[in-house]
Chain A
Amino acid sequence: MGILEVQNVNKRFGGLQALGNVNLNVEEGSVHAIIGPNGAGKSTLLNCFVGRLIPDTGSVMFQGQSLLGIKPHEINQMGVSRVFQTPEIFTDLTVLENVMIPAFAHRDGAYKLNPFARVAKEAEIRDLAEHTLEDMGMKDKLTMTASAMSRGDKRRLEMAMCLVQDPKLLLLDEPTAGMARADTNKTIDLLKHIGETRGITKVVIEHDMHVVFSLADKISVLAQGTVLVEDLPENIKGHPKVREAYLGEAQV
């Protein structure tokens, strides 16, 4: 049984069938990539995992528990963290504060009203946040305001914000989109490193085939809202159906 099991998920926006009978099985500890052309329903599917969208029919089970109808913050508390397509960070706050907030949420639960506690006294949280940022290679940027950072750094900051919570499942929506090649390679290395040291299950949506084939243990190909193939990377490359739907146009 996988850590995340998706069965027969359907989602319709008006006349558009965004997802049709999608099945997905993510093994614990693996990196599962979802690829597919634009408008294939990749982000819609991810939104169904984190409580942003509720599928019309079908089931989404995380560790044997249904995620349908559960609020985003509760899903996060269950151990699912998400990196967004456009970095969602606290732009007005410092890098360190950005990472301390998820650390607080992880330790204290969905809410803890402690108006007289002191951030300055939370050495444990601070160390944890600093350590995570060090892992992401951002040790020298702790006091920087998040909005002043480069796009690549913002993405890595968001990853740090997810990782500091020590999630069981990490969802990454195009983690390298818009990055230069060197930046992309740096991010791949970080993601691999995290995979090895922390053993976090990851679901990655990605356009960049280079990223997909260097990270994924398993790949699902999505086109027009349905899963065409779910297989190992080496089998995906030559698969005729995939070529027809996706790789043909990408010229791989």
Chain B
Amino acid sequence: MLGLNKKDAGLLFFVAILLVFAPFLLNPFPESSSLAQFNAGYPDLMQRFAIFGIFAIGFNILFGLTGYLSFGHAAFLGAGSYASVWMLKLLTINVIPAIIISTLVAGVFALLIGIVSLRRSGIYFSILTLAFAQMAFALAASVLTPITGGETGLQTALNDPRILDGANETGNIPSPSLFGLETGATWQMPVGDWLFTFNAGYYMCAVMMLIAFYVSLRIFSSPFGLLLKAIKTNQNRLNYTGVSTRPYMLACFVISGMYAGLAGGLMVSMDPLAGAERMQWTASGEVVLMVILGGAGTLIGPVLGAGFIKYFENIFSKINKSVLEGWFSFMPEGLQDIFVTILYPFVGKGWHLTLGVLFMLVVIFLPGGLVEGGKRIGKLFGRRKSKDTETGETNPAPAE
């Protein structure tokens, strides 16, 4: 099917199901329950799941296949964002040209940076990409203010020219739309105590992510992908095997940069605003975390990692002191205070601490990321099952 083998097709189908039913899957708790704050099924967050999923899938094509760790991928995200805001300002409020241009601009940007950075490998490559990204960030925040809007950022305005549809202006700043369908448009479906939200922008991102995932599946199973894996394993052998590694690396870097650009373009399509901080090294570091946490080099890992981190960022950070106090209110006064004091640094603004601890645990105990974790659990159950069948009647659960 679609030029995929059975396993890959299954994976694509799995991701498609996740994306289509995300509004339900992410809203498991009834509105009135105290767990409702763990619901992630609101448009803004769902869009981010898909967008950062694309970003991470693209990063994984570079890092997962070739092992080249770019620390400047946010630069391509930022470049794509600026390019698409300009398209919204100059051409049309329709997001399609904006997304296309953002991908292309990021690709060209990646080509330029890649030509220089790929002269080195290992840590030097990482530092070079980091330097370029920080340079881009600094330029965007200062010297290039006429193009980037400086520190305030770039956004759409009422008096934008918009060559194609600027004339029928009503008085409000138009919001980005897909052939007239605003990306912010939502429908709500109350079912009992649950409230499910469907958002046009999210489904657009979801379709793009599905396409992005499909392309990555194809790249992984191509001779091109095989050679990229060979670069990771033994570049020396490859040179003496008659392969010029540079063009492969450059192509891979550009493809990966285009994914980042696409993510940037989609971000702007959801919220027509681009700021320089999008290019900062923390943003580059975040995508590295996503891919490693999910499982670098695996197909589904980056998607899981992106979802995991974005969920934490948005949900864990909402837990504040009073929520904690509520949870431990069943305890006696002193004990409650102790628990709240211990846990407080790990939630709310301190969610990074939790993420850091989790990241360390994953890197130390699960070098293959969440995907490896899943596999191990699967194996554990598989073994237990086969053991059960072998030993026949024995009951693994101890009696009370």
Contact = CB atoms under 8 A, between A and B. Distances in A.
A121 to B, nearest CB: 8
Interface string A111-128: 111111111101000000
B234 interface: yes
Secondary structure call for the B interface: helix
B224 A113 contact: yes
A76 B241 contact: yes
A77 interface: yes
A115 B238 contact: no
Interface in A95-149: 97, 100-102, 104-106, 108-120, 122
Query: Chain B interface: which size bin?
Result: 20 to 34
A111 B5 contact: no
Contacts of B219: 115-116
Contacts of A73: 238-244
B242 A105 contact: yes
B240 A104 contact: no
A91 B240 contact: no
A161 B241 contact: yes
A7 B335 CA distance: 87
Contact of B229 (A71, A84, A93, A108): A93
B222 A114 contact: yes
Contacts of B20: none
Given A93-B229, A93-B230, A100-B226, A115 B242 contact: no
B10 to A, nearest CB: 15
A50 interface: yes
Interface stretch (B39-47, B247-255, B323-331, B360-368): B247-255
Given A73-B244, A92-B233, A117 B239 contact: no
Contacts of A24: none
B244 A110 contact: yes
A90 B242 contact: no
A100 B227 CA distance: 10
A72 interface: yes
Interface in A57-98: 71-74, 76-77, 81-82, 84, 88-93, 97
A34 to B, nearest CB: 18
Interface in B210-245: 218-219, 221-227, 229-230, 232-234, 236-244
A119 B223 contact: yes
Interface string B146-190: 000000000000000000000000000000000000000000000
Contacts of A10: none
Given A90-B230, A92-B233, A114 B240 contact: no
B398 interface: no
Nearest to A109: B242
A165 interface: yes
A120 B225 CA distance: 12
A97 B241 CA distance: 13
Given A90-B233, A90-B237, A92-B232, A114 B224 contact: yes
A118 B226 contact: no
B392 interface: no
A120 B221 contact: yes
A50 B240 contact: yes
B244 A89 contact: no
A101 B255 contact: no
B221 A113 contact: no
A124 B221 CA distance: 17
A120 B240 contact: no
Which 4 pairs of residues, A with B, have the shortest CB-CB distance?
A: A76-B242, A110-B244, A105-B242, A88-B237
9 contacts: A71-B244, A88-B236, A100-B226, A102-B242, A104-B223, A112-B223, A115-B224, A118-B221, A165-B242
